[in-house]
Amino acid sequence: MASIIESGWLYLITHFSDFQLASMGSFLLHESVFFLSGLPFIYLERAGLLSKYKIQTKNNTSTAQEKCITRLLLYHFSVNLPLMIVSYPVFRCMGMRSSLPLPSWKVVLTQIIFYFILEDFVFYWGHRVLHTKWLYKHVHSVHHEYATPFGLTSEYAHPAEILFLGFATIVGPAITGPHLITLWLWMVLRVLETVEAHCGYHFPWSLSNFLPLYGGADFHDYHHRFLYTKSGNYSSTFIYMDWIFGTDKGYRKLKALKHNGVGVEDDSKQT
């Protein structure tokens, strides 16, 4: 398996420059993973399939879904792509490389775990700041236009927020200067995680059913249903930051009531 990966990587670095792989290659990989993982949830919602696993009963209109896709393409080409191009010299200075040999799986695994932990910490505080009154009104409210999220809404945000919270994603790699293949794996896993958190479905096979500290769709969906003053659940991947600082009290109370069979009136406000 390792030899196959190395052969494929050798082909890439032989036919493309470091700049092409790190900028255009990263952009194309991101777009492919993002849309291929996010689009199926639009189909599920429109077709009414697996509705018993849908967290909210409300569905988005086709117009709202199409608006999301159009805006995403605009933001990705006007914000994400230029950012990847501009970031290339910075990552090179920080030690990023694409040459052989590839890093060992132990190095890759250690770095990916570090990225997830650091990203979650930085994202939590950045997200809480975005829920202050002024920033929510002028910046973060764009992301909350979809009170019933679906996979692609994970990256639907104000350009300023894309840059602001994007820092949480790149700070780990910027510190460690990883191999490009590690950076790509981190990007793929982060995209899949955030799409799953916004998918709007809680399946029996969802990771949150097996990983105690993982938030997942049910945890984050609560955040989208409520007004910014009482939303909580600010973390991106895990739940311990919200637990430590008490910003998940409303969510835990709601879960406890439902677990005890108490009828709960959903006091969320759709925006």
How remote is the C-alpha of 4 from its chain's centroid?
29
Closest listed residue to residue 237, CA positions, set 221, 255, 218, 213 = 213
Contacts of 240 (CB under 8 A, 6+ apart): 213
Report CA torsion sign: 30, 33, 36, 41. Answer: negative
Residue range 4-37, pLDDT digits in tens: 999 999 999 999 999 999 999 999 999 999 999 9
Rounded to 10°, the helix 62-75/26-47 angle is: 180
1 pLDDT band (50/70/90 cuts)?
Answer: low
> Does the pLDDT at position 265 exceed 50?
no
Instruction: Compute the average pLDDT of residues 86-93.
Output: 90
Question: Above pLDDT 90, what percent of the chain?
Answer: 86
Q: Are 232 and 223 in contact (CB under 8 A)?
A: yes
pLDDT tens readout for residues 104-121? 999 999 999 999 999 999
* pLDDT value of position 21: 97
Across the chain, mean pLDDT equals 92
Structure tokens at 73: 């393409």
Cis peptide bond prior to 178, omega within 30° of 0: no
Task: Answer yes or no: is pLDDT of 190 > 90.
Answer: yes
- When mean pLDDT is compared across 151-165, 211-225, 253-267, the lowest value belongs to 253-267
**pLDDT, position 268:** 44
Distance, first Cα to last Cα, the chain: 48
pTM: 0.93
What are 35-75's pLDDT values in tens digits?
A: 999 999 999 999 999 999 999 999 999 999 999 999 999 99
In whole angstroms, give the CA distance from residue 123 to residue 223: 14
Q: Rounded to 10 degrees, what is the CA torsion of 235, 241, 247, 252?
A: 90
Residue with tokens 């929510």: 136
Residue that the structure tokens 């967290």 belong to = 55
Instruction: Write out pLDDT tens, residues 207-258.
Output: 999 999 999 999 999 999 876 666 899 999 999 999 999 999 999 998 888 7
Give the pLDDT mean for 80-94.
91
Rounded-to-integer distance, Cα 201 and Cα 163, Å: 28
Does the structure show a pLDDT above 60 at 131? yes
Across the strands, what pairs with 179? 97
Q: Which of 112, 92, 116 is nearest to 104 (CA)?
A: 112
